[in-house]
Amino acid sequence: MKLARPLKRLTESLERLPGIGPRTAKRLAFYLLHVPQSELTELAESIENLKKETVLCTICKNVSETDPCPICSDSTRDQSQIMVVETPLDVIVLDQTGKYKGAYHVLHGVISPLNNIGPDELYIKDLFDRALSSANPPTEIILATDPTMEGEATALYIEKEIRRRLNGTLKITRLGSGLPVGADLEYADEVTLSRAFEGRQEFS
């Protein structure tokens, strides 16, 4: 007994997605058999048109329907602040806090020599062009890559390269590092505790 071909084909496509193994793929495929055809068509069209209906904003490289994207063309936002993030998802998460009202720059990854990803594979050169622009000089670059080994290395590389190319000064900052809200001090790792200590702040 083999899987019917339409099910097999779908299962194989689903298996290629991250976090979906052979069993989950099969379960999803069989689940979809019980879904009304109209919903299947809707899902199929969303997938088919995903890339056709989106572009990368030429300024910030975020995924968008329009170019420039809604953030880059929003005059109520401070376009002289640039927050550098790894992925478009980071933009959504950071913007949901409502604390930040500047612009973004999406790298689409981090420098990772082990995976053959160097600065040229990311949108880092575009960031340098923005940072050193004489037409719209930024006032602050906020490096908001993940606090992982690769994220930190990417942030350090960007900071060093901008400083090296820049005539004059530019505020370059990094997202605060320390204990997450709700964490238990007892279970925090040493590096996080050291960072929390270094980044201690006076009561205001």
**Residue 178 is a binding residue for its own copies (CB under 8 A):** no
Contact 172, 155 (CB under 8 A): no
**Residue 31 is a binding residue for its own copies (CB under 8 A):** yes
Contact 120, 157 (CB under 8 A): no
Count of positions on this chain that bind its own copies (CB under 8 A) = 53
Binding segment toward its own copies, per CB under 8 A, in 83-91, 118-126, 133-141, 187-195: 83-91
Using alpha carbons, list the distances in angstroms from residue 37 to 33, 40, 43, 44, 195. 9, 5, 10, 10, 53
**Residue 54 is a binding residue for its own copies (CB under 8 A):** yes
DSSP H or E stretch at residue 84: strand 78-85
Given the complex with its own copies, which of 39 and 129 has the nearer CB atom? Answer: 39
Which of 75, 85, 86, 87 lies at the binding interface for its own copies (CB under 8 A)? 87
Contact 143, 173 (CB under 8 A): yes
Binding site for its own copies (CB under 8 A): 1-7, 9-10, 13-14, 16-19, 24, 26-33, 37, 39-54, 63-65, 70-71, 87-89, 91-92, 95-96
